Each structure stands twice: as structure tokens, then as C-alpha cells.
A and B are shown apart, each in its own frame.
Chain A
């Protein structure tokens, strides 16, 4: 099953802004939007945003999501050391009847 496309790595400086991208198609991201998850090493993933920019309670406003066509984006402002993690996008694919994930982006905070 085809997945979503994410850049393997992004590096930004402390207190800077990072924008992570996730490209799909009209059957997944372009249809119902994407969810974004954060995963620290050795820990289960944590949901940051779903259906483009709905944040679960407790998630910092520094994390915001958006979508343009079939590309979803996660913007993290005021980067902190604890933001260094792997970030995954995911979405339901209506043509495959399957949930799909991106390959993940490793964010490094310099």
C-alpha cells in the first residue's frame, strides 16, 4: 500500500520555526486531512493534531497543522530541545480502505 511522503530529516536551531510536510493524494490527505504524531525514542507515538488542525487537550499551541490540497504541514514554533523527535503524518485512504502513514521525519534541534 502506498504511503504518505515525508522528508527524512529536518534540522533547525533552538527557538526557530520548523515546518514539516506530508504529501499524499486526493484519496487520503486531500480527502479527510492528516493526523500528526510525535514519537520520542523508545516511547509510543503521541497525537499532536488530527483532521488538519484539531489539537488534543494538553498539546502546546506551538504545534499547528494545516493543509493545502494533498499536502499537509506541521509547523512548530519556538523550537525547544524536547521537540527533537520523529514526526509522522497519517491518514485514512478511501481508495485503499486502509490507514496510511508517512515514513517519518526526524527533527533535530540544533
Chain B
């Protein structure tokens, strides 16, 4: 069955960096675009970034543009989110999800940015 498992979260200080990973299985990863979506505590869903099936196209929310980079390694069936210059407002549960609907979601990983 389709499964996605996020890792790499944790608590970091403002201004630092973190890289999230999303290991996918149960489908042909290299045939699907992938999203990162986040949800701040008690808030709604916020789209973060989208990458095409082959990595050639990448799209970002204005709130993370220039700070976050989405990438993928199709040989490892893994999606990444490199997060730089983290701010307190980036605190959220981060989900990876299969594009485009998005139809399948990981369980999410918590990122806390706090001094």
C-alpha cells in the first residue's frame, strides 16, 4: 500500500536550518509530483511547495520562497525539504503528500522553531 514517512523534524532555534525527508513506498515514486504541506498548531493547512515527478519544476508559497528548497531523489524514493533561516512562524507539523489532488499523505513531522 502507499506509504510515506517523514523524518528530520525537531526543535531548532530561529535562523538555523533543518532538512526534512519523506520516504515513499507502495507506488512508482518517479511518476508523481509531490507536495509539502504544513499545519501550525491549531491552524489550517498551508501549502509549502510542489515538485514535479522528475524534479524539473518547483513551486513555492510566498511565505517560504527563497528560504526553503524542495528536492527529490527518485533512485531513493525520497522527497526532501531543506529549510533555511527558520522563523518562529515556521513552527508546524509538516506533511508530504502525493500530487496532485493531493491524495496520499504521510503522518507528519513536527518542526518547532523557538529560542
Contact = CB atoms under 8 A, between A and B. Distances in A.
A63 to B, nearest CB: 14
Given A88-B44, A101-B45, 20 more contacts: A35-B102, A37-B45, A44-B95, A44-B105, A44-B106, A44-B107, A45-B95, A45-B105, A46-B105, A47-B103, A47-B104, A50-B103, A56-B103, A90-B45, A98-B47, A99-B35, A99-B47, A99-B50, A101-B47, A102-B44
B108 A104 contact: no
Contact of B61 (A1, A37, A47, A86): A1
A100 interface: yes
Nearest to B4: A44
B44 A103 contact: yes
Interface size class of B (residues with CB under 8 A): 20 to 34
Interface in B57-115: 59-62, 95, 97, 100-108
Contacts, number: 52
Interface size class of A (residues with CB under 8 A): 20 to 34
B46 to A, nearest CB: 7
B59 A98 contact: yes
Contacts of A104: 44-45
A101 B101 contact: no
Contact of A97 (B59, B102, B106): B59
A31 B47 CA distance: 19
Contact of B62 (A1, A37, A47, A86): A1
Interface of A: 1, 35, 37, 39, 44-47, 50-51, 56, 86, 88, 90, 92, 97-104
26 contacts: A1-B61, A1-B62, A39-B45, A44-B106, A44-B107, A44-B108, A45-B45, A45-B95, A46-B105, A47-B101, A47-B102, A47-B103, A50-B100, A51-B101, A56-B103, A86-B44, A88-B45, A90-B47, A90-B102, A98-B59, A98-B60, A98-B61, A99-B59, A101-B37, A101-B45, A104-B44
